[in-house]
Amino acid sequence: MPVKLLMTWDIKPEHEQEYFEFVVREFIPGLQRLGAELSDAWATVYGGGPQIMVGAVLPNLNKTRALLCSPDWESLYDRLLAFVQNYQQKVVESKPGFQL
C-alpha cells in the first residue's frame, strides 16, 4: 500500500534565498533519487501553521522506513535543518488530494 511522508517546517529568517536554492537543486532531486515521488508542496502565506508543507509518496511502509534510515536521507535532512526550523514529519496512508 502506498504511503505518504508528510513534512512541515518554517524557513529560518534571512535564509530564504539559500533555502530555495537548496530545495530546488538538492532536496527535491535527492528525495527522488531515494525513491520518493513528490506529490504536494504548499506554502502558507496567511495565518498560523507551518510555513511549508511537503508530501512525498513511496510504494510502501518498508521502503519509507528504509529511506528514513538511510545515510543519504540523513545527509539531506541535516542540510535542510541548516535552513529551516520547527521541522516535523509523519507517515500516513496515501490518499488522493491534500493530506495533513
Question: pLDDT tens digit string along 29-41?
Answer: 999 999 999 999 9
pLDDT at 4: 96
**Mean pLDDT (the chain, rounded):** 94
Contacts 24+ apart (CB under 8 A), 72-76: 72/30, 72/33, 72/34, 73/34, 76/26, 76/27, 76/30, 76/31, 76/34
Work out the average pLDDT over 46-67: 94
Written as one letter, the residue type at 2 is P
- Predicted TM-score of the model (pTM): 0.91
pLDDT at 45: 85
pLDDT at 78: 98
Domains of the chain as residue ranges with CATH: 3-93 (3.30.70.100)
pLDDT at 23: 97
